[in-house]
């Protein structure tokens, strides 16, 4: 049996981008990866537009919830292989030290929760970011198993097709 790579996605509030990445990686390649997400200022709940984006193609939304990144810094925390910052506010050197010295990467996406966005623009931005994350994860998943960690940051420009089990928005 091959061990699963542990991947932690970071975003400030852990209610949108990082939750999407966690849920999508678990759904698309849960047989190869254990996915987690967290942030320094976790929201009280997942943003409703995040749930709306995930609901059609993600089978287990019930396991998702915003978490503090401190849950992943203690001796008891799972040892990550890769930590991915999804915005500049959580990228090194802002992020804490995670046990096991995981590889750090940055996949920056626009913040769909940014101030000054109309509700219709916000809905469109959630859709756009969702599909950007799908493309990024698809390239990451398609990388050879032994090269996944070393190529984590180079997949950004790849344009693989979206997996069939996700909705076309």
Query: If pLDDT is split at 50, 70 and 90, which confidence band does 143 have?
Result: confident
What strands lie across the sheet with 82-85, from one edge to the other?
33-38, 5-10, 82-85, 103-106
Residue 159, pLDDT > 50, answer no
- Complete domains list, the chain, with CATH: 5-157 (3.40.50.2300)
| pLDDT at res. 151 | 44
Dihedral sign, CA of 163, 165, 108, 124? positive
**Token digits for 66?**
């915003």
- Residue with the bigger pLDDT between 159 and 149: it is 149
**Token digits for 53?**
């984006």
17 within 8 A of 106, measured Cβ to Cβ: no
**Token digits for 109?**
């996406």
Whose structure tokens read 């089990």?
165
How far is the C-alpha of 92 from the C-alpha of 135, rounded, in Å?
24
Full-model pTM: 0.84
Query: If pLDDT is split at 50, 70 and 90, which confidence band does 12 have?
Result: very high
């Amino acid at each position: 049996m091959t061990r699963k790579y542990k991947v932690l996605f970071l975003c400030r509030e852990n209610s949108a981008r990082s939750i999407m990445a966690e849920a999508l990686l678990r759904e698309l390649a849960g047989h190869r990866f254990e996915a987690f997400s967290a942030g320094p200022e976790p929201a009280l709940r997942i943003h409703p537009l995040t749930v709306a984006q995930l609901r059609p193609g993600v089978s287990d939304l019930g396991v998702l919830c915003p978490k503090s990144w401190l849950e992943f810094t203690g001796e008891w925390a799972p040892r990550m292989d890769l930590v991915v910052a999804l915005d500049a506010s959580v990228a090194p050197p802002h992020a804490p030290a995670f046990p096991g010295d995981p590889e750090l990467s940055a996949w920056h996406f626009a913040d769909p929760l940014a101030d000054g966005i109309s509700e219709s623009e916000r809905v469109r931005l959630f859709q756009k970011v969702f599909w950007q994350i799908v493309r990024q994860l698809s390239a990451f998943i398609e990388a050879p198993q032994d090269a996944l960690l070393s190529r984590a940051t180079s997949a950004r420009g790849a344009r693989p097709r979206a997996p069939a089990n996700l909705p076309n928005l």
